Each structure stands twice: as structure tokens, then as C-alpha cells.
């Protein structure tokens, strides 16, 4: 299969995307696919990478996208049967890239424009999860124009408790996050200001303690069935000092966070997490794959968030969970590609012609 591997992007998670692409490239080659690598710079320009995925982007061959036609270099079409884009964060995980590829007739593996956008905007996703009866962490939404004052702090304390957690609504990789233990107004204002650096809206949540983090990998197989792999328990040696699983602990190769499978949480909790993960994927109209993150506290399960473009680095948890379920990354990607092409063919049979022209 001729696979376009698209990575990078204008995102705080650019470097993570590069590392994810390196892992995926190796697995695609192992699976016998012909891989075309396309890197997106921090300025948002697309370039063909003739030597595969590297830390430095070679900026000699600009890739242009033609709506309805495909991707080109120097007016020559790139041979693409399907694309995979481990593009994390803004512009790559939030529906923009997904819509662009669809308009350019490039079948893209994974969640579509709607589900990617919903997954990225965590408060929107929470509303959908609530409709499915999936418990989430109690949350207050701080809009872009909201004033951070004593009234907001009092409201947060009454609704969420004395200890709080603040995070950017539409960011990932633990960027724009702060733990607030019995915060002052200055503490809350600083946390919201941090979150607003990365997102227009900020979430203020209850600080769940004691806390066990668990994750479940979702893979939509080529026959349409959902594999819920895991859950695994996240072990983070540095969490006590920081208060949460931060960016550096996620992507540190030595001494950072790691995944334990089986979780050790017990069969009943494991099974409930798998059910919630599948329901969450269905709630956002997901397709392809995702990672669903949970908090477990004293036997209570909270769905934290769904990640529609999970990390695929050597330290990332989605590949580890899939491996524990008995699939290599190459096998999982083959399932993903086959399912993508099947859904693409089905979508092409939908009618887009005005009734009087049929």
C-alpha cells in the first residue's frame, strides 16, 4: 500500500509528532508498505522528505494540496492510497487536517473532522460523555473573556472543593496544566493565564486524590468491531513532586512514566474502563483509533479525556497497550489502513448531487 505519513505541524507537540512518526515509519516499512513522508514545519508549510523521518525537516520540495485531486510536488501528483497523520495538537488533531485531507480526496486514517474536533475540545466532549452516562471529573469552564476574581474562586471552591486542577481545554501532552492546592486568587489567575497561552478556554477541575491513572487503547478493526486494549496503569515516579503526569515525565526515556499491563485494579474495574472507553469512542463518532484516559480513586472511575491522535513514540502508551493485547504495531496499522479504505469507499457511495441532477 502507498501510505503518506504526515507529521510535525504548528503545535506545541511538534517534537512529539516527529518522534511518533519515526516509530510509525519503522512499523509501516516492516509491514511492506511504500511510505511517502511529508513534514509540516512550525510555520505550517508542507515539505516532502526524501530520506524518511528525521529530526530536521528538509525544506526543498514543497507539497501543495489541490481540493478534489490530491497532493502534489512541482505539479506532479504524489502516489497516495491512504494517509496516516500522527500530528498532535493544534491544526493536526483538532479536525483541521482531517477536513483538509478529505477535501483533497486523501483517505486519512483515524478520527474524522467532527470526532477529532470534539475530542480536542474537552468540555464539549464531557457533555457528550454525560449523555452516555460516563462519569467525568467535575469541571468549571472559564471562557476567554471571563474575569478571574474572588467570585470565580469562591464558585470553584463550592463546586469542586478546596484543591483544584487547571488545564487548557484544547491542548495535549500535559501542556498548560497547573495543580492548585488550596489556591489563592493569585494562584488561580496564574493558572488560568498559563492555560490561556495554549487555549482560548480553560478548565478548572476537582483535584482527584488519591489518584491512579489508567489508560485504554481503542482500535477499530477492519471489520468495524472495537478492540479495547488494556487498561494499563500509569506509573509515574515524578508525579508526587509535580502533582500530575507532565510533559517531561511522559517523554523521558529513562526514569519517566511507564505503563503497567495488566493494571492490577481488579477485573471489575478493568471491564468497566473498557466499556466506558468504547462508549466514549462511540459518543464522539470516533473512527480508526484513540486512547481514552481515566482516573481511578477509591474504586470510583472518572473519564479524564479522549485522545484521537495518541502518541506513538517509543515511550507512548497506545502501542504498549496494543502490544499487550497481542498485536504488533505493524499489524495494528494494517487493520487501521484496511478499515480506513473501507470507510472511504462507503463514503464515496453517498449522494452529493442535487436531486434535480440525479
- For residue 113, tell me if it sits in a domain: no
Half-sphere exposure (CA, 13 Å, Cβ side) for 346? 8
Name the packing angle between helices 150-160 and 185-196 (round to 10°): 90
Q: How many domains does the chain have?
A: 3
User: Residue 188: which CATH number?
Assistant: 3.30.1490.20
Residue 247 has pLDDT above 50, yes or no: no
The pLDDT score that the predictor gives to residue 238 is 67
Task: Identify the band that residue 356 occupies on the pLDDT scale cut at 50, 70 and 90.
Answer: confident
Mean pLDDT (whole number) for 68-90: 96
Residue 248 has pLDDT above 50, yes or no: no
With contact defined as beta carbons under 8 Å apart, do 343 and 82 qualify?
no
Entry pTM: 0.91
**Which residues form the domain of 194?**
138-206
- For residue 327, tell me if it sits in a domain: yes
Same domain, 148 and 264: no
The pLDDT score that the predictor gives to residue 355 is 87
Same domain, 104 and 150: no
Residue 102 has pLDDT above 80, yes or no: yes
- For residue 337, tell me if it sits in a domain: yes
Nearest Cα neighbor of 280 from 321, 309, 308 is: 308
Same domain, 222 and 318: yes
Same domain, 214 and 193: no
User: Residue 34: which CATH number?
Assistant: 3.40.50.20
Same domain, 166 and 233: no
Q: What are the backbone angles phi and psi of residue 200, rounded to the nearest 5°?
A: -70, -30
Q: What are the backbone angles phi and psi of residue 323, rounded to the nearest 5°?
A: -60, -40
Q: What are 196-222's pLDDT values in tens digits?
A: 999 999 999 999 999 999 999 999 999
Q: What are 107-129's pLDDT values in tens digits?
A: 999 999 999 999 999 999 999 99
With contact defined as beta carbons under 8 Å apart, do 3 and 84 qualify?
yes
Residue 310 has pLDDT above 60, yes or no: yes
Last residue of a domain, one of 62, 90, 108: 108
State the CB neighbour count (10 A cutoff) for residue 202: 29
Residue 287 has pLDDT above 70, yes or no: yes
Residue 305 has pLDDT above 80, yes or no: yes
The pLDDT score that the predictor gives to residue 175 is 80
Mean residue pLDDT across the chain: 93
Same domain, 277 and 198: no
Provide the β-strand partners of residue 218: 228, 290
- For residue 258, tell me if it sits in a domain: yes
Alpha helices in the chain (DSSP H): 14-30, 96-103, 113-120, 122-131, 150-160, 185-196, 239-242, 247-251, 267-283, 317-324, 329-348
Nearest Cα neighbor of 211 from 191, 192, 236, 189 is: 236
Q: Which three cell numbers stand for residue 103?
A: 477535501
User: Residue 250: which CATH number?
Assistant: 3.30.470.20
Task: Identify the band that residue 240 occupies on the pLDDT scale cut at 50, 70 and 90.
Answer: low
Nearest Cα neighbor of 157 from 187, 193, 196 is: 187
Nearest Cα neighbor of 233 from 214, 250, 257, 210 is: 214
- For residue 338, tell me if it sits in a domain: yes
- Among the residue ranges 74-78, 255-259, 282-286, 340-344, the one predicted with the least confidence is 255-259
- For residue 129, tell me if it sits in a domain: no
Same domain, 271 and 288: yes
The pLDDT score that the predictor gives to residue 164 is 97
Distance, C-alpha 262 to centroid of its chain: 22
State the CB neighbour count (10 A cutoff) for residue 159: 12
- For residue 191, tell me if it sits in a domain: yes
Cis status of the peptide bond prior to 262, with omega within 30 of 0:
yes
Last residue of a domain, one of 153, 174, 206: 206
Same domain, 340 and 227: yes
- Under DSSP, the state recorded for 136 is B
Distance CA 249, CA 316 (A): 11
Sign for the CA dihedral angle at 133, 135, 138, 140 comes to negative
Distance CA 227, CA 171 (A): 26
Sign for the CA dihedral angle at 11, 15, 20, 21 comes to positive
- For residue 353, tell me if it sits in a domain: no
The pLDDT score that the predictor gives to residue 81 is 98
The pLDDT score that the predictor gives to residue 239 is 63
Same domain, 170 and 83: no
Last residue of a domain, one of 108, 127, 158: 108
Mean pLDDT (whole number) for 175-204: 95
pLDDT above 90: percentage of residues in the chain: 87
Same domain, 73 and 160: no
Same domain, 155 and 196: yes
Mean pLDDT (whole number) for 5-17: 93
Mean pLDDT (whole number) for 278-295: 98
Same domain, 163 and 55: no
- Among the residue ranges 87-91, 101-105, 132-136, the one predicted with the least confidence is 87-91
Amino acid at each position: 500500500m502507498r501510505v503518506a505519513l504526515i507529521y510535525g505541524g504548528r503545535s506545541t507537540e511538534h517534537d512529539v509528532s516527529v518522534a511518533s512518526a519515526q516509530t510509525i515509519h519503522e512499523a509501516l516499512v516492516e509491514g511492506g508498505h511504500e511510505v511517502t513522508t511529508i513534514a509540516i514545519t512550525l510555520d505550517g508549510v508542507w515539505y516532502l522528505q526524501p530520506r524518511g523521518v528525521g529530526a530536521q525537516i528538509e525544506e526543498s520540495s514543497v507539497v501543495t494540496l489541490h481540493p478534489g485531486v490530491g497532493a502534489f510536488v512541482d505539479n506532479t501528483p504524489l502516489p497516495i492510497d491512504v494517509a496516516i497523520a500522527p500530528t498532535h495538537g493544534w491544526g493536526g488533531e483538532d479536525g483541521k487536517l482531517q477536513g483538509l485531507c478529505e477535501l483533497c480526496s486523501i483517505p486519512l486514517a483515524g478520527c474524522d473532522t467532527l470526532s477529532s474536533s470534539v475530542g480536542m475540545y474537552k468540555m464539549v466532549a464531557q457533555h457528550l460523555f454525560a449523555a452516555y452516562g460516563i462519569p467525568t471529573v467535575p469541571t468549571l469552564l472559564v471562557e476567554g473573556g471571563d474575569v478571574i476574581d474572588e467570585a470565580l474562586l469562591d464558585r470553584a471552591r463550592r463546586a469542586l472543593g478546596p484543591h483544584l486542577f487547571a488545564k487548557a481545554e484544547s491542548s495535549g501532552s500535559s501542556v498548560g496544566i497547573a495543580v492548585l492546592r488550596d489556591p489563592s486568587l493569585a494562584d488561580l489567575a496564574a493558572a488560568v493565564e498559563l492555560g490561556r497561552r495554549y487555549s482560548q478556554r480553560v478548565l478548572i477541575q476537582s483535584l482527584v486524590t488519591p489518584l491512579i491513572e489508567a489508560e485504554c487503547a481503542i482500535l477499530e478493526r477492519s471489520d468495524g468491531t472495537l478492540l479495547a486494549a488494556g487498561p494499563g496503569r500509569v506509573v509515574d515516579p515524578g508525579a508526587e513532586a509535580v502533582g500530575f503526569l507532565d510533559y517531561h515525565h511522559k517523554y523521558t526515556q529513562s526514569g519517566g512514566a511507564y505503563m503497567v499491563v495488566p493494571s492490577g485494579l481488579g477485573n471489575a474495574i478493568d471491564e468497566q474502563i473498557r466499556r466506558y472507553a468504547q462508549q466514549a469512542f462511540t459518543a464522539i463518532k470516533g473512527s480508526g483509533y484513540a486512547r481514552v484516559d481515566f482516573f481511578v480513586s477509591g474504586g470510583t472511575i472518572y473519564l479524564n479525556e479522549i485522545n484521537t491522535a495518541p502518541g506513538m513514540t517509543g515511550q507512548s502508551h497506545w502501542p504498549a497497550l496494543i502490544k499487550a493485547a497481542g498485536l504488533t504495531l505493524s499489524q495494528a496499522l494494517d487493520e487501521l489502513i484496511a478499515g480506513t479504505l473501507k470507510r472511504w469507499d462507503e463514503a464515496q457511495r453517498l449522494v452529493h448531487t442535487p436531486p434535480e441532477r440525479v
